[in-house]
Structure 1
Amino acid sequence: MRLRPIVALSAAAVSVLLLAGCAGSGGDASPTASGSASAAVDLCDARAASGDASKAVSVSGDFGSPGTATFTAPLEVPALQSTVITEGSGTPLKAGDFVSYAMTAYDAQTGEKLGEVGYNPAELLPQQVSADSPLGQIFGCGAPGERVVATFPATQSAAGQVYVIDLLSTVPTAAWGEPQTPTDGLPTVALADSGAPTITLPGGDAPTETTLETLKKGDGYTVQSGDTVLVQYTGVRWSDGKTFDSTWDKGGVPTNFTTTGVVAGFQKALEGQTVGSQVLVVIPPKDGYGEGEINDKDLKGDTLVFVVDILGAQKTPAQSQGQ
């Protein structure tokens, strides 16, 4: 599929979160959040203007399925332009929102269809919208249900392209699944209005094996090995109950990483779970950062407790191509 760099919005726009530790680096082995929400900006002013190029494209097909674009090629595209085909409904976007979207791409020079992505589960990771992001410049303060034609000028590495892009939904920044009955003897979790968890440890010894509990059961895609996931998380030490890292403490902005790029216990908490779920996992040192003396400098030797909200997932390229 020869889609323009806008596809990079899906997989690589947010820095990878490394839960795997910093072996040999001497650095902090705990995870760090990937970024912070953009400052509050009126996205209505960020939308690219409609122009002759985007207006020249006719679109057929229903919202939520690949759109068919018709235009006379070659289409001259002097700048990014955005024309609304179908108005959305509901709450307008604001800076910092995460959205799911889908798109179909065409070569502006030849009219050839280049590909489509996002119309099947887990093909694109939800992305954060800001005034200086491509999605912010395409949708502005549009609402879910909006379909847009966006035209991109040629670059040194790519011909001009035409996109039909559907704004499918906004994505909550906390798990939305059905609450499950908690298991006695495991840490308990209380949620703030924002969704931020407070973890209370039980008395007694820590489990010697990785222990999972689904606190909320989502109804979305089932995460597979190697997928990229969008999550919120909080981690505490079993030894003292103190939080050592949390996306909620860094502005409440979700982050992403691959399931195979984290410690074994965290990987077990992700794979096989459904998007929308909240998972509690207790990770002994052998599935975490290794055995050793518990200390304040790293997480070696400590049993860790995470609460993880799984907000989105994107399949590996091999999985997507196998559909």
Structure 2
Amino acid sequence: MRTRPLIARPLIALSALTLSALALAGCTGSGEPDGSAATDEGLCAAAAPSGAASEAVTVDGEVGEASTASFDAGLEVEELQRTVITEGDGEALAEGDYVEYALTAFSADSAEKVGDIGYVEGEVLPAAVSAETSLGQIMGCASVGSRMVVTFPASESAGAEVYIVDVLDVAPTQAWGEDQPPVEGMPTVELAEDGSPTITIPDAEAPDEVQVAELKVGDGAEVEPGDNVLVQYTGVTWSDGEVFDSSWESGAAAAFATTGVVDGFRQALEGHTVGSQVLVVVPPEFGYGDVEDHELQDETLVFVVDILGTQHVPTE
């Protein structure tokens, strides 16, 4: 059902052909929310050091807009380096935060721009930042609104590169949209202070068709067919109301493609906007009904889904 959002070493391999997939690649490792002072100090300490390569780059442009960079072609990049050129005045990143970011990439060999991503809504998924990952080395505990030069040595798949990285915001971990009135006859939902839902099944027969209701309507980008999404969710069975799957209980949001879940769950994603919370009832036909011997094969499922981010998939 879910793919745990992780951060590995994906940013290093950026190229013109992989720019559009950067956000999904950026969610291939894990950063479990923590928030302790000691862990946050570890995030600060994880930041890569400044050095001759990153300090040799001059940047023009405002934070939040694609930038231009000037440096001599053939820039020698022997290690990951990071130089903060603009200190933001927003909150400092903490261990486990889901950071919204954008970047412009340049070839260290030619000094030519490779491309940019994240400056248009729906291009990049928020990614968990952790002291244990390369994203932690890039971001450290930078403040929202910061801009930094990051240099990457060559890898097996790409030459040395220079990134101008902007820390745009920290994404909420629960839906923030406008509350909507409940739909009569559908399960009811109560939210804990942290946003985790408790779902109560009505005393009625399960429906034969998928039922979808928006509990909150967000103001973000609309999820399009095939998008990659970042969500929080809880799923219960209609027969007994028991939780069978929950990102809240796992301790981290989940990232996956809308094409990678059962059809009823997909209907709770596509066509809805980031920031929304969606309630969906999924009969077996639109769930696991065709999966022989699956423990949920004959179950009607109920999900509450908080849509935290979407990454549109290029049509090219």
Residue of structure 2 equivalent to 1:64: 64
The amino acid that maps onto 1:277 is: S
Give the Cα–Cα distance (whole angstroms) in 1 for the partners of residues 170 and 40 of structure 2: 17
Residue of structure 1 equivalent to 2:264: 265
Q: 2:268 aligns to what SS in structure 1?
A: helix
CA contact (8 A) 1:14 1:255 kept: no
Q: CA RMSD in A?
A: 2.0
Q: 1:5 aligns with which of 5, 9, 13?
A: 13
Task: Check 1:96–1:108 CA distance in 2 against 1; reply closer, same or farther (3 A cut).
Answer: same
Equivalent residue pairs, number: 296
CA contact (8 A) 2:31 2:95 kept: no
Give the Cα–Cα distance (whole angstroms) in 1 for the partners of residues 203 and 264 of structure 2: 21
Residue of structure 2 equivalent to 1:53: 53
The amino acid that maps onto 1:308 is: V
Residue of structure 2 equivalent to 1:317: 314
Long gaps (5+) in structure 1: 16-33
CA contact (8 A) 2:33 2:97 kept: no
C-alpha distance after superposition, 1:215-240 (max 9, x if no partner) = 01010010011001101110000001
- State the shift of 1:48 in Å: 0.7
Q: TM-score, normalised by structure 2?
A: 0.89
- State the shift of 1:292 in Å: 9.9
Task: Check 1:115–1:4 CA distance in 2 against 1; reply closer, same or farther (3 A cut).
Answer: farther
Does structure 1 residue 306 correspond to structure 2 residue 300? no
User: Sequence identity, in percent?
Assistant: 54
Give the Cα–Cα distance (whole angstroms) in 1 for the partners of residues 23 and 312 of structure 2: 11
Structure 1 runs (4+) deviating above 6 angstroms are none
CA contact (8 A) 2:31 2:128 kept: no
- State the shift of 1:12 in Å: 3.2
Residue of structure 2 equivalent to 1:37: 32
User: Higher mean Cα deviation, 70-79 or 278-287?
Assistant: 70-79
Give the Cα–Cα distance (whole angstroms) in 1 for the partners of residues 287 and 82 of structure 2: 47
CA contact (8 A) 1:49 1:81 kept: yes
Give the Cα–Cα distance (whole angstroms) in 2 for the partners of residues 76 and 292 of structure 1: 54
The amino acid that maps onto 1:305 is: V
Task: Check 1:299–1:108 CA distance in 2 against 1; reply closer, same or farther (3 A cut).
Answer: same
C-alpha distance after superposition, 1:288-310 (max 9, x if no partner) = 111799x9x61011111000000
The amino acid that maps onto 1:60 is: D
Q: TM-score, normalised by structure 1?
A: 0.87
Long gaps (5+) in structure 2: 1-10
C-alpha distance after superposition, 1:85-105 (max 9, x if no partner) = 111122211111101111000
